[in-house]
Each structure stands twice: as C-alpha cells, then as structure tokens.
Structure 1
Amino acid sequence: MGAVVISIDAELGWGFHDYPADERPTDRIARSRWGWEQLAETLAEHDIPATWAVVGHLFEDDCAGAHVGHPSPSGWFAHERGDDPMDDQYRFAPDLLADLAESDVGHDIGSHTYSHVEFDADYATEDLARAECDRAVEAAEAAGITMDSFVFPRNRIGHREILAESGFRCYRGTEPETTADGPYSAPLRKLAQATVVRDPPPLVEPTVDEFGLVNIPASLYLFGFEGPARRVLSATVGDPVVRQARLGVDAAAAGEGICHLWLHPNNLTTEADLARFRAICAHIDDVRADTDLTVETMRTVADRVVTEDVTAA
C-alpha cells in the first residue's frame, strides 16, 4: 500500500521578508502564528506526523539584527532594522518549535534554510548556500534537534551538493508534470483540475539523486487554487482542493506511491482555510483506519528508501 506525507513550509514572516514592505501580504503574516498553532493542533488530534521545514532564524529569540559574517546580499536583513522592522513574533519562534519538539506525534523538524534564501537565484552563491545550511543546522542543534529533511524556499532547487555536505538526507522535489488536464491551456489548468478532471494528483516515488539525497517530490499544494473561483465552487460543489486531496489519499491507499501534500502555516488566515486542512486530515485518518495506508514524514521515507537500497544491494 501507499503512503501520505505532509510537509509544511514553516516560515512565519520570513517567507515575505524580501518583498518591499508595501507589497507584503500583511493578512498572511498577521495570521501566521495562528495558522501554525492550528496546524499543530489538527495534526495532534488525528495523530498525523508531518515534516515541518523551518526557517532556521526562528529557533533564535534575539539576533540584534547583526548576522555578522553572513554572506547575504546587501539589505537582506533590512526588515530587522530601520524605523519600521517586522514584529519580533514573526521573526522568532522558539516557543512554537519547542512545542513541536515535545509533541507526542513524532514530527520531523527539517530546514527551510536559515533566512529563506532561494537557492537557484542569481544572488545565491555557494558561500551563501553553505552559510544558510550551516547556520540552520547550528540553530537547530542548539535546540537539541537534528535535521535530515530540507525544503527549498519557493521550491527553487539548487546547490544540492551543499545540502549533502551539510548532512541533510532528503529534500522535497517539484511536482511531476501531469497530462490529465492536457487539453486545457495554462490559464484554465487549475480550474479544469478543480471542476472537470477526475484524476487524483500524481502519486510520487522517492529517488536517490547523484549526491545521495532522497528526492521526495510533491503531489499537491493545498492552497494553489484560491480567489473568487474557490469561493464560488466551495459554495456550490464543495471545496475543490479537499476533493483533489481525498482522491490522492484514496489512490495511495489503493496502490503504491506517495501522496505528498504541502502548505504553509500562513496559508491559514480564515476558518474556511482551517476547515480545508481539517477535512483532509480527517479523511487521512479515516482511510488509514480501514486500509494499509501509512502516514510518513520525509525523514521516515528517506530511512525506508536507504534501507531498501541496502537490502537490494
């Protein structure tokens, strides 16, 4: 039977710190701690472990805005300085991380870099990528956490060799190309997937790349279909993303492969957003009770893949 993996890009305000101040989605930032807490509570209620890919700066409780020696671009930490810095509660979160580490659910706490650097961007030199990995690892180890899993900010993959050198064992790859909605042009693709297409999101298979890292691709972003179309469809035929996620979970239960779902805490800004996640977790719980479906984290998938490779050898 297959498995379900949930990975969470746990970044609070760091997901938007490189935006101009007047372009930051203030509603998402303001609700990011609430969203984090609701995700953790819902996962605990259903005993579902997840991979929380955490921006390393969140482990800290103070940094004085210095970051001495960090090879970042000019102005990279500007949101921590100046006359109107981002509020501390969106830059630091040792309290939230301590709660995750102490949870009985068995979450996998991994990395989302130290300060949300896009690893394939022009500014992301090897020195910067290495510093982001090293500082993230150091911040986690100071909190008693060893990290194996890595999620690239904005899914922009790069510098995988440095991940391997830094001790990471697996990462979330990008979603496979799908052909189910092939007849539709790109602007209509999400609408078609939500309303016409009845195929589940792709199940994925982990693979070992040339650096020895286990690539665990994503299947479905849980907040990729938003705006007026979502509201209209939710009011008439139900939440289309819940339907897609349920199809993916059912497909995993019926066969082999992983249904890898992902989101950010700051995606949850309303009760409707929380209801979506709760419905998906309830379905995972129900299906797991009646089938051989398993719930894994990125870390346990990597453990399994490595064990299978050793056994096969």
Structure 2
Amino acid sequence: MEVNRGGFVISLDFELNWGVHDVFRHGQYDENLYGVRHALPKILTLFEKYGIHATWATVGLLFAETKDEMAHYLRGIPVKYEKKRYAAHLQLANVGENEQEDPLHFGKSLIEEILRTPHQEIGTHTFSHYYCVENGQTEDDFRADLHATMLISADYIAPMKSIIFPRNQVNTSYFEACLETGLVCYRGNETHALYSPEKFTKKSRLLGAMKWLDSYVNITGNHLIRLEEMKRDVFVNVRSSAFLRPYCKRLSVLEGLKVRRIKEGMLAAAKTEAFYHLWWHPHNFGKHTEKNLAMLEELLRYFRELQTTYNFQSYSMHEVAMLCQQ
C-alpha cells in the first residue's frame, strides 16, 4: 500500500496558571487548574491506547523545582510590556515554594508523566508564557525568554524542536530567534482573517463569538495542511486546523455539531492526503473531565477508523517537520 502523506496532528498548550493569571481573578479558574492533575494522566492513557503522537508545548517555568529557581531565570528576562499585568514576574509573589505546596504553578511531575508515555514530544510554549505582539516587548526580550527555556530543560529532555506561541501571537519577525535556538517548526493560525494574530487587548466579544460559532458550524473551512506548502519554509508552519473546545453545559445540545465538524475535517484530510491539526489546553479538561474525555475518545476512535481505511497516521509537530525535510 502506498504511504499516505497526510495525518492527524495533536498539540496541547501546557501552561497551568501561567497561561491564565492575567485573564481570571485570583482563584476564579482554580477548578480547571486543579483538575489538570486528574485530566492529564487520563489524556495520556487515551493517547497510548489509540497510538497517538502529540506535542505538549510546555511553559518553561513548569520545569522549575523551587520558587527560587523560577526567580533565578526570570531575572534574566526583561519586563517591558506596557500592560505590566501580562508579566509572569508579577505572579511570582503568589507562587508557593514547590510543587507539593503549589500545584498551580509547578508541573515537573506532570512533565515526567508525559515523558513516560510513548510518542509524546515536549515542545516549548516559551518560558514565561511570552506574548510576541504586545506593546513594549522586543525581540531581544523574546530571545532571553527562549534562552531560559533551553537552559532549564537542557539536562532533562532532548533539545526542543517545536514552539507554540502563547495566545497564538505568531510574530514572523521572531522566527530567526527561534531557528537560532534549534527550533524547526511552529503552530501557525488558521488561514482566515478570523484567526489572524492580534494583541490580547484588541480582542472583541464579536470576534470570540464568531470563533465559537465556527467550532460548531463550518464558516471558515476545514483548514487542512499539505506537505507541499509546508516544505516551502525553512521554519515549518504546522498550521492549526481547529481548537477542541471543551464541554459547555449551556451548549450541551450542540456537542454533536462540534464533534461532527471536527470529524468532517479529519475525513477530508484523510481522503486528500492532507494533515488535520487539533489543539487544546489540558486545563480545558480540568472541569467536566469525564465528558471531555468521552468526546476525545470518540474522536480518537474515529481516527482509528480513518487509519484503517485511508492509512491516516498520527504525528507530532516535529514528526511533520521531519517529513518536510525528507
């Protein structure tokens, strides 16, 4: 049988409270964050059961074992956001001394669980959940942040090859800095104006509502990726196809539409030898965990059907980049 050149790509933005401290009031999102400790191992169990290769883009601060270690690395990263509340440095005052004391800001034991599971890639989500298009920050600041990530993980894992930009703020001006640190690929946004990188401060309710609607009804297309287009760039864009929105009780009657929308994209990719890239955060599954896991397993069972019928394979982001090099 001819090898299929398309496949199913999964990536997760692993950040704990470092990714939401500037969005929610203190304690407001704790149920989801504490729930990661329960949800993440179950996600890994499903990945192993269905042979899923995935990329876990991890905030570098989660590698730290102590608060002092966090502070040591943060001192080397300038704080220049005009909106100072975006800076992880200010959150340090709310951090405990270690993972046992503070499971919302430390994550090394969870990283170890990921590493014990076959076919899982650890990528970077920057060190401090760094925002690449916000006012005030510079390319040199970004370089310092990437350097901190590489240093804190150097003796623990293989050099990272994939990056996912926090808030999907892809800044093409920073690609050279990424390549300098050995990164080879990133997750770009869907090719539609609705998903263009924007400053966090400029996001509107209408934009958010349109993205929600697109998750249930096909407004912007399936956003498939083809090997030929990825091969054009030195820094490979393993572009997003869809965000896996978590279960919402108020919209529970629409859950079937959401799953069907994703399945349609997966089927289209399998039939045309393209890639379909699905992503979410572990904390999205921290609440309504069992319903979210059931949704994920339904999608993974469907992947297996496509694998049998179309030789549709599972890939991490770096594995896709390696296909481009071949």
Q: Answer yes or no: same fold by TM over 0.5.
A: yes
1:102 alignment partner in structure 2: 116
Tell me by how many angstroms 1:208 deviates: 5.2
TM-score, normalised via structure 1 length: 0.84
Structure 2 residue 318 is the aligned partner of structure 1 residue 299: yes
Q: Match of 1:46, as an amino acid?
A: Y
Q: Judge conservation of contact 2:8–2:313 (CA < 8 Å) in 1.
A: yes
> For 1:265-304, what aligned pairs fall within 5 Å after superposition?
265-268=282-285, 269-270=287-288, 271-304=290-323
Cα gap change, 1:294 to 1:264, in 2 (>3 Å): same
Tell me by how many angstroms 1:63 deviates: 3.0
Flag structure 1 segments of 5+ consecutive residues without an equivalent. 180-184, 308-313
1:182 alignment partner in structure 2: none
Tell me by how many angstroms 1:155 deviates: 0.3
Q: Judge conservation of contact 1:35–1:267 (CA < 8 Å) in 2.
A: no
Q: Judge conservation of contact 1:12–1:90 (CA < 8 Å) in 2.
A: yes
Structure 2 residue 246 is the aligned partner of structure 1 residue 232: no
C-alpha RMSD of the superposition: 2.8
Distance 1:172 1:30 in 2: 27
Range 14-23 or range 217-226, more displaced: 14-23
Structure 2 residue 87 is the aligned partner of structure 1 residue 66: no
Range 87-96 or range 107-116, more displaced: 87-96
Distance 1:287 1:249 in 2: 8
The sequence identity of aligned pairs, in percent, is 28
1:256 alignment partner in structure 2: 273
Q: Deviations 1:32-91 (Å, cap 9, x if unpaired)?
A: 222222221111111101011111111121132523332134663222215989962121
Aligned-partner SS, 2:262 = helix
Distance 1:214 1:91 in 2: 31
> For 1:1-313, what aligned pairs fall within 5 Å after superposition?
1=4, 2-19=6-23, 21-22=25-26, 24-64=28-68, 66-67=71-72, 68-73=75-80, 76-81=88-93, 88-103=102-117, 105-158=118-171, 159-177=174-192, 187=209, 190-191=212-213, 194-195=216-217, 197=218, 201-205=222-226, 206-207=229-230, 212-223=234-245, 226=248, 228=250, 230-234=251-255, 238=256, 240-268=257-285, 269-270=287-288, 271-307=290-326
Aligned-partner SS, 2:314 = strand
Aligned-partner SS, 1:138 = helix
Q: Judge conservation of contact 2:88–2:129 (CA < 8 Å) in 1.
A: no
How many residue pairs are counted as aligned between the two chains? 294
Cα gap change, 1:295 to 1:200, in 2 (>3 Å): farther
Distance 1:124 1:162 in 2: 14
Cα gap change, 1:225 to 1:147, in 2 (>3 Å): same
Flag structure 2 segments of 5+ consecutive residues without an equivalent. 195-205
Q: Match of 1:202, as an amino acid?
A: H
Cα gap change, 1:14 to 1:189, in 2 (>3 Å): closer
Distance 2:236 2:17 in 1: 29
Cα gap change, 1:106 to 1:56, in 2 (>3 Å): same
Q: Judge conservation of contact 2:18–2:88 (CA < 8 Å) in 1.
A: no
Cα gap change, 1:198 to 1:246, in 2 (>3 Å): farther
Aligned-partner SS, 1:261 = strand
Tell me by how many angstroms 1:12 deviates: 1.4
Aligned-partner SS, 2:56 = strand
Aligned-partner SS, 2:154 = helix
Range 112-121 or range 242-251, more displaced: 242-251
Aligned-partner SS, 1:61 = coil
